[in-house]
Structure 1
């Protein structure tokens, strides 16, 4: 007996398998007359509660927004700190230049006095 894999699903021969009268498998109903797809969908709907997932997604979106805002604030503060550092370096260089001039002036004055 070789299995036949034609239009007749689950049949071992072209006639029937295990006493099945039609040889075709009806996917919409089982032996008890229950629609398995509907039954599984009802079970899934009963087992799966989307509210915690929705709350988690909302919290994640809020956290992401706060994180992005803090990141932008940090970038602004970093840019401000870099500007202040550049100004401080310029003032320090100017102070060194002024100190050199004062030292030169003092040395010149000491030579003249």
Structure 2
């Protein structure tokens, strides 16, 4: 199960070096919503802790991860929609490029932090 709320500034720089694309990774010069403790990456699991099928793997920076991707199978679409529905009901916002990412609508209120992992 993937569940990340904070990420260190150093880790953010490494991620940016690997994927310098703001659709997927925040520019470390600005800081991410994760650096603010205002975002979470997660998936669904069954009663045995096994991850349910989703449209793509976690941190898959391709169109398969996008919320509007239409070629996923029915089960993956259903699971992704369930996750999004539950998270939005609890006040989180989603982003169009990552089915696993949810954030606080108030993320700008939180300062950028550098919390070692």
Q: What is the TM-score normalised by the length of structure 1?
A: 0.18
Larger Cα-atom Rg:
1
Higher strand share: 2
Q: What is the TM-score normalised by the length of structure 2?
A: 0.18
Higher helix share: 1
Larger relative contact order (CA 8 Å, sep ≥ 6): 2
